[in-house]
Structures are given as structure tokens and as C-alpha cells.
Structure 1
């Protein structure tokens, strides 16, 4: 990790190419360290990536796939927690069951994902890589490297369906080994629930104009409780963590609006500007409650010497340029 810090000190952070190089160096440093550990040589390194809507998570992930393949010959699989969103039908049922709770009216919030499906896919990706590694040497000796029976299908979510309300796509992505690295991103990935007393304290101390006060505390308690399922089923898979912080959280409105406009330019249906604002408003309470901890503490618990260097934070300005890098 000292090599990573030395390289970091020499860089002009605001150059566009630096974001990709910094992230790839961080991943490679941890990948090499990960490989030296015993009993995990067949397991992919799983990278968690957090960032507010519109910050460029998907773009970064796609660029890392190409960059790590070209520079280190590593095969990277990307997925988003959006891929595990409930189907439109199930989301409507959830909204009906929680009638009046605006946080669960539409997709996106903790509780609107198929947790068990996400866990299943992550486990299958790990299992396929292990089988591939175990069979690779034998098949290579036999002169055949066909692994048609080793594959994992990953769901995808089409946000343009149902007039921008979205739905799971019927077309799933088929992933073949080798799988050296798995990168999973999400706006709430890394959020940890608060104790009941801390949630109440945050709510009581919030100003009247706070996003928290736009909702009854009982509705926030449901979201807070839902986070436990993510912690129990998804977080144990994560080996290292990256979070992208915006210099101003309100950039999310501009960035998400740009994202919607770009999608419409491709001919797809989407939300109106007013709908985008209303959509983002539903995310602000969770940002207020959970981002401070994620931005200021190491995502991983345990002995400091063992976990230092596993959590990287990038601070971005309005133009999405890096203005600060923090290593936990």
C-alpha cells in the first residue's frame, strides 16, 4: 500500500485520466495482497463501489473493466445493485403494502431489491471461478479450454420501461470465467443501519427543512430496518471498498438530471425533470442518515492494521474531477 500512496502523491488529481489510474492502482494493490493470503487463490476479489446518483459509477466501472484487462490481463465482472431491483410487479405490491410511505412508492430504496437473488448471483460468480480454477489445469493438459457448462446469468434492469418506472429486463447477461475481480456498485451500498436511539436522535435534531422531516419517523425506521438484510447477505462478500463523495450533496440533482436527459437522447422513455427531482427527494433522507459514517470511517471493522488500505474515498467537484483522495 505504500507504493500506492507514493504514486498518489505524485499525481495531478484533476486530470481526467487520474481517476481511472488511482482506482485501478488501488484495486491492483489489494488484488496482489489478496492473492498472497492462503486458501483464497480461487476466489475473485470483490470490490464495493458507492456513489450518489449521477456521479459516474457505471462509467467508472465500465472503464475499469477495459483498463484492468488491457494493463493487467484481469477479467472484471461488473454489476449494480440496480440489477437486483424488484420487478415492476413486485415493486407495485411493495408500494401497496406500504401505502403512504413515499420512500417505498418507487424503486431504489433499501427494501426494493431482491436480496436473496443478489446473494445467489454473487455466490454463483465465486463458485464458477473456483470450478474454473480447479478444472483449468486439467483441461489445458487435454488441449481443450471450453467452459460452456460454467456460466452465470446476471439480471439487468431497464429504467426506461413503464414510463421511467423501470422493470427487470428479460435479457440477462451471461458471464463466463475466468472472473478475477467482481465490481458491484450502488448508491446505498455500504450504508449500515443505525440503532433506534441514534435514528431518533438524528430525527429529533434535524431542522424543519431537513429531508428527514418530510417523512414520519416510522417510515424511516422501515428503511433503517431493511438495511440489516444488506449487511447480513451482501456485505460479507466485499473485500475492498471505494466510495465517491460529492463536494456538495446537492450535485445529485444536476447529475441525475443529466443522466435522464442522456438516456432520452438514445430514444428511450424517461422521467420528466419534475419527476427526477421528486425521485431524488426520496433518497435525501438516507443520504442525511448514512453518508457521514461511510465518508469518515473505514467500511470494514476489526483490527486497524489489518484493514487499513482497504477503503478508498474520492472527493469530486461539480465537474466530477477529483479534488481529494482519502485512504482508510
Structure 2
């Protein structure tokens, strides 16, 4: 006999997937892994006397934002746990700030993405505020990826007295700095052409080793959606851009809205190659669980380290 809980969660996930036009693969992942994951997080939340801060790492287009949305609805509805999602992407420096950084340090830093292009003080403050129960609102920035700039809008959340999970999701969440020897040689033709002397990757690594360490120390728990290879990330990111443009056109009723084309996306993701590959190597040993994805994002296995 199917339990009431299973029937209710199945109906919920059917509606969740239908509303977002998700395929059967996400449903299979949710039923096989994500529902149990939510239960594990809820146990931690109920056992804690403060909000539990969870890092969710995943390469571009791996599905971390969709998983975060699922947890944000699933945990309150079925586990009596509040869930607030912070995206590290919303904390990018403004376009003007990145241009100044690019002029002062290296031109590649004008492109959003790598460690060093985030407003770390603001992110640190937001995580600190989310790490304790409070009756006040916490204002979070909103970044517009199509405009490649931070908006003037803010999103407000409130961490109340209920058991709470705070999710920090992002492609570089939890990644440690590389060893100096790893920086000696360009990781790709992109780096050979644009950063042959290593100024850019050295700056990024220094940021990881210093200011980002303080941010990632606030994580109580870390999970990873691991791609099968970096080449899959390009395909995922192209799909992501197409969906983003289509959604924006529908909302604005304006088919003239444009984003990056395939060539531009391919060049953009090269900024992420070095640290994405580094994460694939080192994070499974650091994360509480790693979901091994195949190219269609179906989870092949779940690996737990602690």
C-alpha cells in the first residue's frame, strides 16, 4: 500500500515539474535521491538551535537552482522546516565595478563568474544574518544575467523561529584554492591566449584562499551536483541561456530580447573551466554527498563522504 506521504509528495512533484516544464529525469532524481536529501536536511534543522547553512555546488546548468526551488517548497510543506535560498550569482559586483577591477588587475575580471567578481562583504553579512533567528528582514541583491548587471531591486527574507535551512547555491560554492603548482600551466587554450602569465588565475586563487574561505566556513553542510565532464557543462549552459531568453520574452511580451549566442556562451564558460575541473576532483572528498550526473543530468550514484 502506498503511504499518504508518498502519494502527497508524488502529487506535489508532478505539479512542480509540470509548472517548470521539467522532464522525467528530474522526477526520477527527485524520487530516488532528493526526497531523502530533504529528509536528511530536515533532521539537521530540527536538531539544531540555529539555522543550518547548506552549500549546494554545481556546474553551470547542472540543476542546482531547480533543486533549490524544490527544497524551498518541499521542506516547509512536508517537513515543517523553513527554507531560504541565496544564490551566489546575485552577489556579483556591478558591471561598472568589474570594469574597474579588470582595468586594475586583469581584463578577464570584467567578466562575471570567477571568485573575485562577487561582493564578498555583502555576501558574508547576508550569511551571518541568516545564521541566526531574527524578527527583522534581510535584504538580498538581485542580479540580471541578461543585462549582466546588478539591479536596484532587493529581495527580502526573514529567518523566523522555526527550524530553518539556508541554502547557498552556486557554481563555486565550497571550492578550495588550488596548490601553487597547479597554477603554473594554462588549463586551456583560452588561458594560454588570455592569461599566459597567470595574473588572472593567480588573483582568482588568492581570492579563494582568503576572502572566500571566510564565506565557506559558514557552511554547516555541503552537497555537490557533479558533471560527467566539462564538455557537458557547455551543452547545459546553452540550454540554460535559451530557457532564460524564452522566459524573459514571455514575461515582457517582447521577442526582441536577446542573450548570448552559442559562440558567446562557449567563450563565457571557458572562464569557469579551471575551477569546475578542480571542483570535480576535490569536492567529492569534502562534500557530505556528491551526486554523479550523466550528460542528461540523470543521477548515476550518490556518494557520501561523511
Query: Residues 157-214 of structure 1: CA distance to partner in whole angstroms, max 9, x if unpaired?
Result: 11111xxxx11121111112326110111111111112323433xx28x6xx565544
CA distance in 1, matches of 2:88, 2:289: 20
Contact 2:38 2:75 in 1 (8 A): no
> For the Cα contact (< 8 Å) 2:72–2:84, is it kept in 1?
yes
Q: How much does 1:35 deviate?
A: 4.3
Question: CA distance change for structure 1 residues 76 and 111 in 2, over 3 Å: closer, same or farther?
Answer: same
2:120 and 2:212 in contact (8 A); partners too? no
Moved >6 Å (runs of 4+)? none
Q: Residue in 1 aligned with 2:173?
A: 189
SS in 2 for 1:76: strand
Q: Which runs of 5+ in 2 are unaligned?
A: 1-23, 250-256
Matched residue count? 269
Q: TM-score of the superposition, structure 1-length normalised? A: 0.75
Kept after mapping to 2: 8 A contact 1:212/1:285: no
Q: How does 1:38-53 map to 2 (within 5 A)?
A: 40-41=48-49, 43-53=50-60
Cross-structure match for 2:183: 199
Counterpart position of 1:116: 121
Write the deviation string for residues 63-95 of structure 1: whole angstroms up to 9, x where unpaired. 111111221122110011111100111111111
Query: Cα offset for 1:33?
Result: 4.2
**Aligned twin of 2:200:** 219
The structural deviation recorded for 1:288 is 3.2
8 Å CA contact retained: 1:54, 1:259: yes
Q: TM-score, normalised by structure 2?
A: 0.80
CA contact (8 A) 1:52 1:245 kept: yes
Instruction: Say what the alpha-carbon RMSD is for the aligned residues.
Output: 2.2
Counterpart contact for 2:190–2:270, Cα < 8 Å: yes
Post-superposition shift, 1:18?
4.2
Structure 2 counterparts to residues 191-270 of structure 1, below 5 A: 191-200=175-184, 203=185, 213-214=192-193, 215-216=195-196, 217-265=198-246, 266-267=248-249, 268-270=257-259
Shift of 1:124: 1.4
Shift of 1:289: 3.5
What does residue 3 of structure 2 align with? none
1:154 aligns with 2:143: no
Unaligned ranges ≥5, structure 1 = 1-13, 133-149, 300-310
| Deviation of the 1:97 alpha carbon | 1.3
Query: What residue in structure 1 maps to residue 73 of structure 2?
Result: 66
Q: In 2, Cα distance between the equivalents of 1:222 and 1:290? A: 18
1:47–1:183 Cα contact (<8 Å) kept: yes
Q: Please list the CA deviations of residues 217-243 of structure 1 after superposition, one character each: whole Å capped at 9, or x if unmatched.
A: 232211111112344321111111110
1:6 aligned partner:
none
Equivalent residue number for residue 171 of structure 1 = 153
Structure 2 counterpart of 1:272: 261
Please state how far the C-alpha of 1:327 moved relative to its aligned partner: 0.7
Does the residue aligned with 1:170 lie in a helix, a strand or coil? strand
Measured against aligned partners, the alpha-carbon deviations of 1:136-173 in whole angstroms (never above 9, x if no partner) come to xxxxxxxxxxxxxx211111111111xxxx11121111
Classify 1:230/1:251 alpha carbon distance in 2 versus 1 (closer, same or farther; 3 Å). farther
